[in-house]
Amino acid sequence: SSHSYDYDMVVIGGGSGGLAASKESANLGMKVAVCDFVTPTPKGTTWGLGGTCVNVGCIPKKLMHQSAILGGELKDSREYGWDTPETVTHDWGRMVEAIQNHIGSLNWGYRVALREKKVDYLNAYATFTDPHTIKTVDRRGKEKIITSDKFLVATGGRPRYPDIPGAKDHTITSDDIFSLPHAPGKTLLVGASYISLECAGFLAGLGYDTTVMVRSILLRGFDQQIAEKIGTYMEQHGVKFIRGAVPTNIEKIEEGTPGKLRVTAKTTDGEEVVGEYNTVVVAIGRDPCTSGIGLENAGVDLAKNGKVVVEKGEQSSVPHIYAIGDVMEGGLELTPVAIQAGRLLARRLYRKDSLQTDYVNVPTTVFTPLEYGCCGLSEEAAIDKYGEDDIEVYHSSYQPLEFTVAHRPENDCYAKLVCVKSENEKVVGFHILGPNAGEITQGFSIGLKLGATKADFDNLIGIHPTAAEIFTTLNITKRSGKDVSAQG
């Protein structure tokens, strides 16, 4: 295209969404630049190209979850004939090094991919100065002015700190934990988001004394019956919960690594709770990275929560400025969603495709010690939408075969389908709590997308012996009140 701008497309943010969009736009012949700059955390932690998922999100958390899972399987292994020692030890530093090495190779791979696709990579912080111009500032303070026909804001989000004394000085967040050079020791996690519970799960699994401080409910937005089951399981596996409390003050009472912190908290009945921990991780939500980047100079409308308001097609209030991923209002904060949105946006802009990103029935998994996979509506959201009388819930506890010989408890794992009676029992909610839930949920989610009914699930032939086959034999409704304990 002929124009007077430096680029056809400048992408701000080299994370999941931004990289996908920049590579696809370049594939389609556009002149593209991507700016990615990581502002260090209050502790000074920083990282390479690739954004949240690769550096301080999905990837390191799944690997730490795996490290914890292996500890459990080492115990099982004795029941399976292995002479695994009764006491095995875990080396935090070695795990962090191995995981960070993997991340380093991913960072490198992204740089190479951008170079191969002829996308200009600017390791610099971008700020809008007018609707077609940004200023970039690199680590050494070097400035550059860049103009572009179109912009994509894909700046993601960062952890929020509570507004209490000591928070920024003494606590860490998910931005620090995955590269923490020393073992965390006795740890308090504040918040009951999936990020908090996942971190608590792997820390407890690795052998650390772990406490979660919950303000109200677990996993707001997720199916609450399953959220409670996750909490119960974690409690039975060593995670302590302080319910109905928020921290009010955090002070350092012992220097050193990790040192010691005193946390004062207040419960909803006004009581004061004091505890001492080596590490405090706050995971109370994330703020979109939309402040201080000059969006007001470009005239882009933001929602009250700071996210970019978009119309259909991820278009902001300024037609040539788009937003995807975690900064987009009304989206889902998930890596594959950001990637899909970036790729499809580029194809609509530069290949005249019409396919829009579908934000409905997106499957996801919470990687707590027992994993929770879901797709579609929670039971409460389904009841809200269709009314209690029109919802039939089929459910069962189950025990994966692998748990039997290992003598693990029988009724921890759970499966349920939420169906709409008036629509031929169409399945609108799929839920599974158990090992490998993500692997199971991914496949079934296409069934939900295609409108599968309960009869379709009943008619499906299982794969034996698997956990997933439970979905082909669900015959107890929740309404019946019948016992759903696993029957061997």
Tell me the catalytic residues. Answer: 464
Per-residue x/- marks for ligand NA7, 309-348, CB under 6 A? ------------------------x---------------
Residue 195 interacting with ligand NA7 (CB under 6 A): yes
Positions touching ligand FAD (CB under 6 A) are 12-18, 35-38, 51-53, 56-58, 61, 125-126, 154-156, 174, 195, 289, 293, 325-326, 333-336, 338
Among 190, 341, 427, 470, binds ligand NA7 (CB under 6 A): 190
Q: Which of residues 215-234 bind ligand NA7 (CB under 6 A)?
A: 215-217, 220-221
Among 42, 185, 207, 285, binds ligand NA7 (CB under 6 A): 285
Q: Which entry of ligand NA7, ligand FAD, none binds 48, CB below 5 to 8 A by partner kind?
A: none
Task: Rank residues 12 and 448 by Cβ distance to ligand FAD and give the closer one.
Answer: 12
Task: Rank residues 325 and 376 by Cβ distance to ligand FAD and give the closer one.
Answer: 325
Q: Write down the residue that tokens 């040539």 correspond to.
A: 320
Task: Rank residues 18 and 331 by Cβ distance to ligand NA7 and give the closer one.
Answer: 331
Minimal distance, residue 217 CB to ligand NA7, in Å: 5
Task: Rank residues 9 and 289 by Cβ distance to ligand FAD and give the closer one.
Answer: 289
Minimal distance, residue 422 CB to ligand FAD, in Å: 33
405: left (phi over 0), alpha (psi -120 to 50) or beta: alpha
Residue 191 interacting with ligand NA7 (CB under 6 A): yes
Task: Rank residues 371 and 425 by Cβ distance to ligand FAD and give the closer one.
Answer: 371
Residue 379 interacting with ligand NA7 (CB under 6 A): no
Residue 246 interacting with ligand NA7 (CB under 6 A): yes
Q: Which entry of ligand FAD, ligand NA7, none binds 15, CB below 5 to 8 A by partner kind?
A: ligand FAD
Residue 162 interacting with ligand NA7 (CB under 6 A): yes
Q: Total residues at the site for ligand NA7 (CB under 6 A)?
A: 17
Minimal distance, residue 144 CB to ligand FAD, in Å: 12
Task: Rank residues 289 and 413 by Cβ distance to ligand FAD and give the closer one.
Answer: 289
The three state secondary structure string of the chain is CCCCCCEEEEEECCCHHHHHHHHHHHHCCCCEEEECCCCCCCCCCCCCCCHHHHHHCHHHHHHHHHHHHHHHHHHHHHHCCCCCCCCCCCCHHHHHHHHHHHHHHHHHHHHHHHHHCCCEEECEEEEEEECCEEEEEECCCCEEEEEEEEEEECCCEEECCCCCCCHHHHCECHHHHCCCCCCCCCEEEECCCHHHHHHHHHHHHCCCCEEEEECCCCCCCCCHHHHHHHHHHHHHCCEEEEECEEEEEEEEEECCCCCEEEEEEEECCCCEEEEEECEEEECCCEEECCCCCCHHHHCCCECCCCCECCECCCECCCCCEEECHHHECCCCCCHHHHHHHHHHHHHHHHCCCCCCCCCCCCCEEECCCCCEEEEECCHHHHHHHHCHHHEEEEEEEECCHHHHHCCCCCCCEEEEEEEEHHHCCEEEEEEEECCCHHHHHHHHHHHHHCCCEHHHHHHCCCCCCCCHHHHHCCCCECCCCCCCCCCC
Minimal distance, residue 81 CB to ligand NA7, in Å: 41
Q: Which entry of ligand NA7, ligand FAD, none binds 193, CB below 5 to 8 A by partner kind?
A: ligand NA7
Residue 56 interacting with ligand NA7 (CB under 6 A): no
Which residue ranges make up the site for ligand NA7 (CB under 6 A)? Answer: 162, 190-193, 195, 215-217, 220-221, 246, 283-286, 333
